[in-house]
Structure 1
Amino acid sequence: MSLQDKVILITGGGQGIGRATAELAVARGARAVIADIRPDVEAVAAEIGAAGYLMDVTDQRSADAAVAAIMTRFGRIDALVNNAGTALAAPALELTAEQFGRVLQIDLVAVLRVSQLVARSMIETGGGAIVNVSSVAALIATFPEPTTGYAAAKAGVVQLARNLAAEWAQYGIRVNAISPGRVATQLLFDNTDEQQRELMVSQAPIRRFIAPGEVAESILFLASDAASAVTGHNLVADGGLSIV
């Protein structure tokens, strides 16, 4: 699975799955580009040998400026990983329209926004690959976790990948999604207690959390030429959670 010299843009690449993906991409010879809302994105990217650009995926001008700067510097974007997102735990009866709207803006609308920008550049340079990071919550009700808003947005991410794959195949652009299970990120640990984590581990057949690097392997497979015939697919990397 060669990624040598491929320009791979990863939104939300400053931490968690995004950072693991950037690190692995660099290790495999790619020119990784991290786009993140965090102000220290350039310093974070430099730590792993990547380039860093400030991008607020919910702001059209910010996204426009970042993608334009990346194209000016590198001349092309071979793969886009739509990883930027937010989590929201709120019971359905208490979920406000404002909260739901914000989750949709970050986790779904922004995926379309950045995909459109990058796809236009890919059309000019001969194609590419897009990978949308969804969640197992798009496939199953992760009760007792109150993830209604998040789950709805992530389900939309999967269907968006299918539709974009159908429309953009003519341009040589492949679009896929990946649905990870419970991944051992700081976000998960910050939002759960020990009892909740024990329950989560017990629910998946593999009886452990998934490492960010394991998800990164699957993401970069979909982004690579090894997946040249794969498009419109949702790769489930959940340790078997969705099958039990």
Structure 2
Amino acid sequence: MEQRKVAIVTGGSQGIGAGVVEGYRRLGYAVVANSRSIAPSTEPDLVTVQGDIGDPAVAERIVATAIERFGRIDSLVNNAGIFIAKPFTDYTQDDFAAMLHTNLGGFFQLTRLVIPHMIEQGAGHIVSITTTLVEQANSVIPSVLASITKGGIASATKSLAIEYAHRGIRVNAVSPGIIRTPLQTEEAYRALASIHPVGRIGEVDEVVHGVLYLEQAGFVTGEFLHVDGGQSAGH
């Protein structure tokens, strides 16, 4: 009998992350989900690990939990992230440290620990959630620290895809536009809808569909899938 596949999802307690957790469960995967505030799980196919993903000890605990509970790691979704929109000169040292710690630190700590398990299996898939603002800057949403951190992950996606293609590991990214999550108010979403050529904001399920497409697309690696209502195409 084939062993059940296992996915790790960071930032899994709400918004896109919670949607991705449920998406993988619908595919029949067992899931290890992490966030600072995630609740304990009583479901047999879902285990949660609470903690700050930028902390190396938390990343180690997530990987150890996946191996101890389910015996393998097939997929990693680097979803956890923070977004602080300010004019560049208004950013503080604390803003800078926080975004480096969560966005880049979380990606680095967990991806580095997961890849050896995927090499041992001869297969694996890593998906990171970035933002179209990395490629299409917009003065309405000043976002230099997102460009530094999420942009770094975008570059690393292609580098990792090439480095590990011969080991059976695929590495991709999903680049969302503005998505309806608990992060913003409805008034803010109405104001932000015009950023997208299609004239509306995106929904969590639309990003989840993108992640799951990449999960099942065995010939796709090093790809940025834009789920952004045409934002990356132009204005």
Q: TM-score, normalised on structure 2?
A: 0.92
From 214, 217, 222, the counterpart of 1:232: 222
**1:56 equivalent in alignment to 2:52:** yes
Report how far residue 183 of structure 1 moved. Answer: 0.2
Report how far residue 65 of structure 1 moved. Answer: 1.8
| Partner in structure 2 of residue 220 of structure 1 | 212
| Partner in structure 1 of residue 32 of structure 2 | 33
Structure 1 segment 99-178 matched on structure 2, within 5 A: 99-178=95-174
| Partner in structure 1 of residue 8 of structure 2 | 9
Report how far residue 103 of structure 1 moved. Answer: 0.5
Gaps of 5+ in 1: none
Equivalent pair of 1:35/1:41 in contact (CA under 8 Å): no
Change in Cα spacing, 1:47 to 1:239, as seen in structure 2 (3 Å) is farther
Equivalent pair of 2:49/2:61 in contact (CA under 8 Å): no
Q: Which has the higher helix share?
A: 1
Report how far residue 153 of structure 1 moved. Answer: 1.1
Change in Cα spacing, 1:48 to 1:148, as seen in structure 2 (3 Å) is farther
| Partner in structure 1 of residue 199 of structure 2 | 207
Instruction: Give identity over the alignment, percent.
Output: 35
Q: TM-score, normalised on structure 1?
A: 0.89
Pairs aligned (count) = 232
Say which SS state the counterpart of residue 229 (structure 1) adopts: coil
Cα RMSD (Å): 1.9
Structure 1 segment 82-101 matched on structure 2, within 5 A: 82-101=78-97
Change in Cα spacing, 1:145 to 1:48, as seen in structure 2 (3 Å) is farther
Return the alpha-carbon distance in structure 1 between the equivalents of residues 189 and 213 of structure 2: 29
Equivalent pair of 1:78/1:129 in contact (CA under 8 Å): yes
Return the alpha-carbon distance in structure 2 between the equivalents of residues 216 and 89 of structure 1: 24
Return the alpha-carbon distance in structure 2 between the equivalents of residues 96 and 104 of structure 1: 12
Deviations 1:174-198 (A, max 9, x none): 1111100010000133xxx72x433
Gaps of 5+ in 2: none
Say which SS state the counterpart of residue 192 (structure 2) adopts: helix
Equivalent pair of 2:177/2:229 in contact (CA under 8 Å): yes
Equivalent pair of 1:23/1:48 in contact (CA under 8 Å): no
